[in-house]
Copies of this chain bind each other. A is one copy, B any other.
Amino acid sequence: MEFGSDNQAGASEKILEIIAEANTGFTHGYGDDHWCNRAVEALETFFGHPLTVFFVATGTAANSLALASLVKPWETVLCHHHAHIYLDESTAPEFFTGGARPIPITRNAGKVTLRHLENYFATLAQEPPHTPACRALSITQANEAGQVYTAEELRQLCSFAHGHGLNVHLDGARFVNALVALRCSAAEISWKAGVDILTLGATKCGGLAAEAVIFFNRDLATDFAQKRKRSGHLISKGRFFGAQFVGWLQDNHWQELATHANTKAAELANALEEFPQITRQWPCQANEIFITMPRQLADTLHQQGASFYEWPSLALPRDVTLDKKTCFVRLVTSFLTTDEHISRFCTIIRNNAC
């Protein structure tokens, strides 16, 4: 009953095997090796676009380095009110950008919408050098509320952004979960929609520690190698990253893993429909479920071995207020989630309800 986070699972067998394969013998260090080259080629095939790619070990590094390619220290990045870059990565965006400012523009909304952007610009003070200038939009796919942006939604957001002088960063920690949900091509929800930089995470979906910062807009990559090195994110035995991405992309391994996670989430969400004391707050679109439930039930579940996190009420939809007996909870499934996890979880709820 491990619904805490998709990073509580290890790496997939297949990815471990390819790491072992890549480990043999000598290579050049620092990413200048056969495996990294193969990984970049595989990514170019995956996206159908020439790419500039850099690998790092964590999502925080990937996101922050991407933002540092978009804004100067006196500029701002618009984001969702509970974006990972805003709430869960300390002040890493400020650290890597040299002090640029993330500005949340939604509140209690499932997704960033055109309306949020329009409102923001309608009331914005623009008096440089006094006011920081807005220069980037960062969105997450699948997002902080487990929601998936359609290709059309992304196109509209990117188009508005570009029209207002902003470049667009897509935080793709769960990009493949969105991809599986949308049944479209990777291209349609990235460069074709107008995304400039994608941070593509394999870690949450079968990798060990593997994130790729992918520049569709390759001019933005100019200083990236310097920034990565200087922040300690250039690993010496670089083939470790290359191998993971080769394995992840080979034979659509990513798809198999993400499909499993999404399917289990859908099944769990479905099963929870049965319980009137549980309310789902947003549709389950990828591999995350956001629900409210009696606090006493949550306690029971924890006591009986279920793993999941209470979520900040800041993230609740606008019209929902929480009384003290109720709590807001996130459930995440992964490539390792089993039917038994789900059925045991439901059994506890069923027994508790009686």
Residues of chain A having any CB pair with chain B under 8 Å = 2, 4-5, 7-11, 16, 19-20, 22-29, 56-62, 64-65, 72-76, 87-92, 94-96, 98-102, 122-125, 127-132, 203-204, 208-209, 223, 225-237, 239-240, 307, 312-314, 336
Contacts and interface: CB of A to CB of B under 8 A. Distances in A.
B123 A89 contact: no
B123 A314 contact: yes
Given A74-B90, A129-B230, A25 B10 contact: yes
A74 B229 CA distance: 9
Give the number of times this chain occurs in the complex, counting copies: 4
20 contacts: A2-B26, A7-B236, A8-B27, A9-B25, A10-B237, A11-B23, A19-B208, A58-B232, A58-B234, A60-B232, A64-B232, A87-B125, A88-B130, A88-B131, A89-B130, A91-B99, A91-B132, A123-B314, A124-B314, A232-B233
Contacts of A100: 91, 94
Given A2-B26, A91-B101, A131-B90, A208 B230 contact: no
A236 B210 CA distance: 11
Given A58-B232, A58-B234, 14 more contacts: A5-B29, A10-B27, A10-B239, A11-B23, A16-B23, A58-B235, A60-B229, A61-B232, A90-B129, A91-B100, A125-B314, A128-B226, A129-B230, A209-B235
Contact of A125 (B24, B26, B102, B312): B312
A18 to B, nearest CB: 12
A72 to B, nearest CB: 7
Nearest to A230: B90
Nearest to A62: B232
A58 B236 contact: yes
A277 B317 CA distance: 39
